[in-house]
Structure 1
């Protein structure tokens, strides 16, 4: 069987299994096994596949037909223009989170500009300190560190297995010297007295009762620990908002990813400890980002 024949076979098999993007997925799997770009498939369509390649492709196809996410099958994804390793121990980075990272980057640049113009000891000649809470694959921490060389980032997660993936992604994107990884339950992962300019978090926020209704790829394969936000989806927001002021510098920001219908609820939680609270939308026009500034009373 040559490349063209296998592509048609795989795409048709995926279509029958109700996979949404059968041709795309078939092409990705071929590129992964053949270690080539998409153009190679079209310029070498008559190249005969050897038995080892066919075995690898058949195993990938079997998994995808069973709704295993394509990113887990090939072990990686692209996010924020960067390569990230992924496994079933971490959530697959989604485009929604790019809006949250862009807000984090904007705030880092804002603090950096203040450092340029403010001659006080508070701002002069220091890196902008960022905390990424519930880091998972490290996509937030790595992206901010990559695009903001003026920053240093601490990334926390309760899962040691997730942190192994985050560590791999730090090395893969050459930011391991500016991202520190900590294992623990939320702020328990940190030493007392650590202060940050910005805290960013994409915590679990799916309502427990909604998880069984999610796509098969999500509910059957992505880590439950990273999805379940409690009965109303707000458990982690309550804990983060209450504890964040002890770890924020005066004037620091808290940036949260939220579900499309959670903006007002999370804003109500933040009202007690934060000022200048804003709800911002993602590229699809859904509420996705909530920011607030901490001012010491």
Structure 2
């Protein structure tokens, strides 16, 4: 542990923000690497003469902040972790950093299946860090889930996150493209979920460099119109879902109506476009027959 005065620390923090960046990212760095929680940071100025104990010294924190500012490296990758719902997840550049808006997928599942007492079988296609599947496995301890990813490196991150987050054994992981590892689950799933790559090619080229230069292209690029992977998932979903089974998809802000039509074409009913907290049609859900 490294001991400094609160006054010295606050001056250091002010100096770092004067170089650029945003307060939220710096607070994230201080919490993850320095070991000072966001809540504690808010009250430091009340007692500037107090002592503060850091897990890493200020030079170390400053070097990470410098990398973040100089290269636009995402602070989550530099810290090696991120927070999502009530989970603390390991992240590397092999997985997409899970976004806050994606947290609503879990709430959509709550609306459909209720709370813990329900027992069902779910699959997540393209799990990345494992965030969605782990949250559901924890929320529904009587249920069982399977999660797939085409990248074994991403899958290893997800498996480690599950082991760090839970002592349960109700979630299994399979390597492969979309439905391909799940042949033994045909006709058995109550629920399938995916946050697939859905960024159109021309939009991908215009993404901020902190996304385009660091996050895995395979987890972002959805073909020319952004719907390449969504089409495949929807077309094959009826083979794996039970009758009355649900499919939940995250999509680009302007794709919901097209996704809705694809669901109708593939015999889905009870179709609904669910808006995120910004009022954007971020999710499209449907029930098979």
Deviates more, 1:59-68 or 1:191-200: 191-200
Instruction: Give distance in 2, aligned partners of 1:28 and 1:237.
Output: 33
Compared CA separation, residues 244 and 48, structure 1 to 2 (3 A): closer
Post-superposition offset of 1:234 = 0.1
Q: How big is each residue's C-alpha offset from its partner over 1:20-54, in whole Å with a ceiling of 9 and x where there is no partner?
A: x2x3323332333332324555256775899x723
Post-superposition offset of 1:271 = 1.2
Post-superposition offset of 1:58 = 2.8
Post-superposition offset of 1:99 = 1.7
Compared CA separation, residues 185 and 87, structure 1 to 2 (3 A): same
Q: Secondary structure at the match of 1:197?
A: strand
Post-superposition offset of 1:176 = 4.8
Q: Secondary structure at the match of 2:239?
A: helix
Instruction: Give distance in 2, aligned partners of 1:100 and 1:82.
Output: 15
Instruction: Give distance in 1, aligned partners of 2:49 and 2:122.
Output: 48
- Verify: 1:102 aligned to 2:107, yes or no: yes
Equivalent of 1:58 in 55, 62, 84: 62
Compared CA separation, residues 79 and 158, structure 1 to 2 (3 A): same
Q: Does the 8 Å CA contact 1:142/1:179 hold for their aligned counterparts?
A: yes
- Unmatched tracts of structure 1, length 5 or more: 114-126
Q: Does the 8 Å CA contact 2:155/2:175 hold for their aligned counterparts?
A: yes
Q: Does the 8 Å CA contact 1:91/1:137 hold for their aligned counterparts?
A: yes
Q: Does the 8 Å CA contact 1:7/1:27 hold for their aligned counterparts?
A: no
Q: Could you tell me the TM-score, scaled by structure 1's length?
A: 0.85
Q: Could you tell me the TM-score, scaled by structure 2's length?
A: 0.87
What is the match of residue 239 of structure 1?
Answer: 232
Q: Secondary structure at the match of 1:213?
A: coil
Compared CA separation, residues 98 and 48, structure 1 to 2 (3 A): closer
Instruction: Give distance in 2, aligned partners of 1:71 and 1:96.
Output: 16
- Verify: 1:174 aligned to 2:166, yes or no: yes
What is the match of residue 32 of structure 1?
Answer: 32
- Verify: 1:8 aligned to 2:14, yes or no: yes
The alignment's C-alpha RMSD in Å is 2.3
Equivalent of 1:130 in 114, 122, 131: 122
- Unmatched tracts of structure 2, length 5 or more: none
Instruction: Give distance in 1, aligned partners of 2:53 and 2:199.
Output: 43
Q: Secondary structure at the match of 2:183?
A: coil
Q: Report matched runs for 1:126-205 at 5 Å.
A: 127-174=119-166, 176-194=168-186, 195-205=188-198
Compared CA separation, residues 9 and 191, structure 1 to 2 (3 A): same
What is the match of residue 224 of structure 1?
Answer: 217
Number of equivalenced pairs: 275
Q: Secondary structure at the match of 1:143?
A: helix
